Amino acid sequence: MKIILSARDINTALPKVAKGLQQYLALQRMAAHLPNFHVDPGFRRSYNHFYRVRRGVAWRQVYFQLMGRAHQQGLPFDTILNEIHKATGRLEASFASKMLATLRPTEPVIDSEVLRNLGVRLPYAGAQGRFGKICVLHKELGHAFGNFLKTQQGRYLVSEFTQMYPSANVTEEKMLDLVLWQTRQTSPGVSAQPTGTNTSAMPACIN
């Protein structure tokens, strides 16, 4: 998986980042400063709005309780994904990644717009070894983010983002995530599958 963004892509996306960036910063401030933030009604409302959580009350209760435990215990992505599945019967790849990225802002988010931009898809429902494939995708996405940020274009993105939003305290990974989310096109030359990994042979995540 390789991220391709031109200077033009970056320059076009950056002004569009402003609204989501402010919402993200407010959410992360609550997560950093509120005691037991995961049970705070204001945090939950902001989180549900920003990450478009459209699930029932019981599901959300399970989810935010797990967020508190993940925060206290430092749970990795595969454990979060598995715990949500055990409690709800659903493999919630996107919401598992959003939980982890809230707690560890250097982690990537599995978002439909970002994946569409990269020409990557989640494994279909019922796919053999789906849990493991989701874990591999999350790991490969993290590698792709790290590799891109080391490139000339990656450094350009960080420089331009910092210049446009000098007071925004966000990780470089989140800068890239926000730009990708606003780049609504499929970049040419992006592999549609994680590279170097036989995902069909991956029954579980390896951390």
Average pLDDT of the chain is: 88
Rounded Cα–Cα distance for residues 58 and 55 (Å): 8
In the predicted structure, residue 189 carries a pLDDT above the cut 60: no
Rounded Cα–Cα distance for residues 99 and 67 (Å): 7
Rounded Cα–Cα distance for residues 114 and 91 (Å): 19
Helix (H, G, I), strand (E, B) or coil at 160: helix
In the predicted structure, residue 159 carries a pLDDT above the cut 50: yes
Quote the pTM value: 0.85
Give residue 204's pLDDT band: very low, low, confident or very high (50, 70, 90): very low
Which amino acid is it at 103?
Answer: L
Rounded Cα–Cα distance for residues 138 and 99 (Å): 13
Give residue 124's pLDDT band: very low, low, confident or very high (50, 70, 90): confident
| Per-residue pLDDT reduced to its tens digit, 59-71 | 999 999 999 999 9
Range 111-138 average pLDDT = 90
Rounded Cα–Cα distance for residues 45 and 186 (Å): 32
What pLDDT shows up at residue 140? 95
More confident residue, 186 or 27: 27
What pLDDT shows up at residue 185? 54
More confident residue, 193 or 86: 86
More confident residue, 125 or 23: 23
Question: What tokens does 138 get?
Answer: 């999350």
Task: Choose the weakest-confidence range: 79-88, 122-131, 172-181, 198-207.
Answer: 198-207
Task: Choose the weakest-confidence range: 65-79, 108-122, 186-200.
Answer: 186-200
